[in-house]
Structure 1
Amino acid sequence: MKFKKNITVILFLLSTIFGFSQTGSTKKLDKIIKRDYQIIECTISKISDKELEYSLPNESLQNVLNISQIARIDFSSGRSQTFDTSQNSNTPNNSSPVQTAANGEIKANTIAVLPIPYVNSDNQQGSEDMAKFAQNDLYNKLIDKSSNIFPLTVQDLRTTNSLLHKAGIDHNNIDDTPIEDLEKILGVDNIVAAKVSYTTATSTTSTGYNTGNVKISDNDKKAKVEDYSVANANTELHYYFTVYFDMYKNATKIYTQTRKPVFYFKDSWMDAVSYLLKRSPIYVKK
């Protein structure tokens, strides 16, 4: 009886230790969302007016990040803190007044599509042509679904790009301009902003088969089989996309999502954009 009691105690202690280790291994982390859409999962140790200190999982080294680079922090406790991006000292328009739309007014229930940075994350190189193509694709999706986004009206793409050009803004620095300034420049109260990031990789598949030809020897009249192997190699280029999708109303972010397409084709990012648009708060199913 005493032996059974000891076994029970030992099993209880082991389950307690195992449960404690499991709890420790699933410790929730803080999440830093940077203005360039990078997400850092970490443990934040200190925050000041200018800097933030954090450590990565399983590391004791303290890293320092400038507050101006941060858009939002989602703490492990469940609390979120949003940072005023208009205070960023690196914005291109902070030294001069913001140029507003021609009439100086913001049209209610009007949405503008910003240029969409299309960036190879391996070398951080962007494509101007693809940025315009992606912007045009999203614009056309909104136009085609105009009845689903009523009462919003989509600002003409030429108007959007002309006003941005006059303000010195393009796909290279669009992320550095506060949304509040962009709304004033474009004269709209709604903005949809997206970014396409991608990497590429190649895969090779080989196919082969044997052909058997029968040959009869003149000397011994015996049949011999001569085999030949034929093989084809196909190399395919795969695209691994990440699409970042944000919507703003009166300078307030009302929707933010990230999606990786299911397929790896060159235009798979378009499927992800359609998916995110149809699940945004401005889209109403008919």
Structure 2
Amino acid sequence: MKFLKPALFFLFLFLSNCLLAQNDIVLKTNGDEMRGHVTKINDKDIQFIYENETLEYNIPISEIIKITFSSGRIEYFDNHEKVSFQNLEDHHNKVAILPFGYIKDQETSNATMTKKIQLETYTIFKNKAVNLQFQDPNTTNSLLIKAGLTNNNIEGYTMGEICNILGVEYVVQGLVSIERSSVTGFSNTQTTKKDNRNNAYVDGKGHIVGDISNKSKTNSSSFNTTTQNYSTNITMNIYNDKGDNVFSKEHSSFWQTEDAYKITLDFLARKTPFFKK
């Protein structure tokens, strides 16, 4: 027992140090992250001490997007519109493509595909744009990150607010859903027949030389293949910087291949007012 109390003391000290090592993270409207400890939140500013420092700073709330506390709690501040550094009149005729939602066989965790479809949609529109400037997806994603928008909290923002964050007049948002459907089987049998032709002849003495019989040989081979079919459904929406939905359409692909979404994306893009006929 005499060793138990010192052990508990050092365990408590270790856990305390671990907790103290965790930082609050303040995300500013210019994209900077401040790591340290928020000591107080006032009406117009917060009091903040940087990690491994003792000097206390006052940071205006107008410069803060959110605070992620060491406990995991997140507090948002209504300053996200300042991230774009643009006025509404500068948004005119500018379009951003958001990362598409992607569901395959009810799984939604494929971040690579959401960006891939975003880029493919951008390419389709950019090649057929009508007096519109399409924002590069890398710029779009960077601005979203700087504003603190993630898949977990983006539903807390209106599409009008997202337009203002990205500095565009319109955003294109969509969902691609792919599900396994039927399996198609195919079998084929090939038969090869080889004939031994009559190669007999009569020599000068009237004797028959060679084989006068007709023989044939038949070989057969068969193979089976199966193809997995998919059903593809895509929803595409366009919103303006006022939050209005100016286009909405859903379409199921006729094709049953896994990459049929590409054809369907092109089909839906042609239906939008952005596409040059």
TM-score (norm 2): 0.57
Give the structure 2 partner of residue 245 of structure 1: 236
Does the C-alpha gap of structure 1 residues 104 and 171 become closer, same or farther in structure 2, counting only changes over 3 Å? same
- Deviations along 1:89-147, whole A, 9 cap, x unmatched? xxxx9943252334143322211110011211x3333311111110001111122112x
Gaps of 5+ in 2: 1-73, 196-212
User: Which runs of 5 or more residues in structure 1 are unaligned?
Assistant: 1-92, 215-221
> Residue in 1 aligned with 2:221?
230
For residue 209 of structure 2, what is the aligned residue in structure 1?
none
The alignment's C-alpha RMSD in Å is 3.0
Distance of 1:176 and 1:271 partners within structure 2? 32
Instruction: Using the TM superposition, give the Cα deviation of residue 184 of structure 1 relative to its aligned residue in structure 2, in angstroms.
Output: 2.2
1:20-99 aligned at under 5 Å gives the runs: 95-99=76-80
The superposition leaves residues 173-216 of structure 1 with CA deviations (integer Å, 9 ceiling, x where unpaired) of: 555642122112212221111110010243221112345689xx
Is 1:103 the counterpart of 2:85? The answer is yes
Q: Is the 8 A contact 1:117 1:171 kept in 2?
A: no
Q: 1:94 to 1:193 in 2, by over 3 A?
A: farther
Q: Which has the higher contact order (CA 8 A, sep 6+)?
A: 2
Structure 1 residues 190 and 162: CA distance shift in structure 2, 3 A? same
Contact map agreement 2:102 2:110 (CA 8 A) in 1: yes
Residue 135 of structure 1 corresponds to which residue in structure 2?
A: 118
**Which residue of structure 1 lines up, in the alignment, with residue 252 of structure 2?**
260
Runs of 4+ in 1 over 4 A off after TM superposition: 170-176, 210-214, 222-229
Q: Name the larger-Rg structure.
A: 2
Q: d(CA) in 1 for partners of 2:157 and 2:216?
A: 74
SS in 1 for 2:255: coil
Do structure 1's residue 157 and structure 2's residue 137 form an aligned pair? yes
**96 and 103 in structure 1: CA distance in 2 versus 1, 3 angstrom threshold:** same
What's the TM-score once normalised by structure 1's chain length? 0.56
Alignment correspondent of 1:205: 186
Counterparts in 2 of 1:282 and 1:95: CA distance versus 1, 3 Å: same
- The whole-number CA distance in structure 1 between the counterparts of 2:79 and 2:215 is 87
- C-alpha distance in 2 between matches for 1:134 and 1:278: 16
1:118 aligns with 2:110: no
Change (3 A) 1:171 1:240: farther
Sort the Cα spacing of 1:208 and 1:162 in 2 relative to 1 into closer, same or farther, 3 A. Answer: same
Matched, 1:280 2:272: yes
Distance 2:220 2:157 in 1: 61
